[in-house]
Amino acid sequence: MLTVETRHAIDPDAAKRMDTAELRRNFHLGELFRDGEIRLVYTHYDRMIVGGAVPAGAPLTLDHVKECGTASILDRREMAIVNVGEAGTVAAGGVTHALDRGDVLYLPLGSGPVTLDGKGRFYLLSAPAHRVHPARLIRLDEAAVVKLGAAETSNDRTIYQFVHPAVMTSCQLVVGYTRLHNGSVWNTMPAHLHDRRMEAYLYFDMKPEQRVFHFMGRPDETRHLVMKNEDAVVSPPWSIHCGAGTGSYTFIWAMAGDNVDYKDVEMVAMEDLR
């Protein structure tokens, strides 16, 4: 079963007038993972697609998506798939890839239908592409690793870069994830902006009772969304994107836009946050 929802782009002046329900309706992406379903959100932020697929004992095939305007979803797109569940497989382009928990699969433009199977819970990310790069399965020990923060500032974390220039070449997708270590809860703080790229977060590795407060909005007009396990959020280019949790967690970050430069950001001074 395939479900597709469309989210239109929202400007910062409109966002600052929204109440909690409106903010969640426009930026929060919930219930992406349902047994036996593929659930996609087609966003108008750099045409990024964010979604989830849970085979739950029977294969699921992702092929035609009306919103893309092509016969098959990857006819003019690339895709990254992150397995946040148990072992599973993804078949595309005549090759079957075995993904363990935490593995990331990159599929290029023209890969054809994508079939997902096994016990995996697959997080799907797709953006328009202009050329073909090799498909690649990237395991955790192949990711580029960056350590940031400190226990003293409650943001001791390790960043794993998968679909990233330090590891491989893509058209515009940049994907990785960040793990907060025990006792640390703050991610991406100090905050920053990147006007040339949008971003999406998926929070996972959380206990059912845990929550993350995801901060968004202009630096001088901040808002927050309360996130539970496997909730996602879309971050417009004009918005900060940072958060703090009630315990340690992991989040997947994915970007699309004008470049793939992970460091192309505008830092926000703490005194400028409101």
Contact 184, 154 (CB under 8 A): yes
Asked whether residue 22 is marked as a ligand-binding residue, the answer is no
Compute the distance between CA of residue 176 and CA of residue 188 in angstroms, rounded to an integer.
13
Asked whether residue 194 is marked as a ligand-binding residue, the answer is yes
Contact 231, 29 (CB under 8 A): yes
Asked whether residue 181 is marked as a ligand-binding residue, the answer is no
Contact 124, 53 (CB under 8 A): yes
Report which of 138, 111, 143 is spatially closest to residue 126, judged by C-alpha positions.
111
Report which of 180, 198, 192, 186 is spatially closest to residue 253, judged by C-alpha positions.
198
Cα–Cα–Cα angle for 216, 255, 18, nearest 5°?
Answer: 25
Residues forming a β-bridge with 230: none
Report which of 193, 194, 179, 192 is spatially closest to residue 149, judged by C-alpha positions.
179
Contact 47, 95 (CB under 8 A): no
Asked whether residue 31 is marked as a ligand-binding residue, the answer is no
273: helix, strand or coil? coil
Binding-site residues for Zn(2+) sit at: 192, 194, 199, 241
Extract the annotated binding site.
192, 194, 199, 241
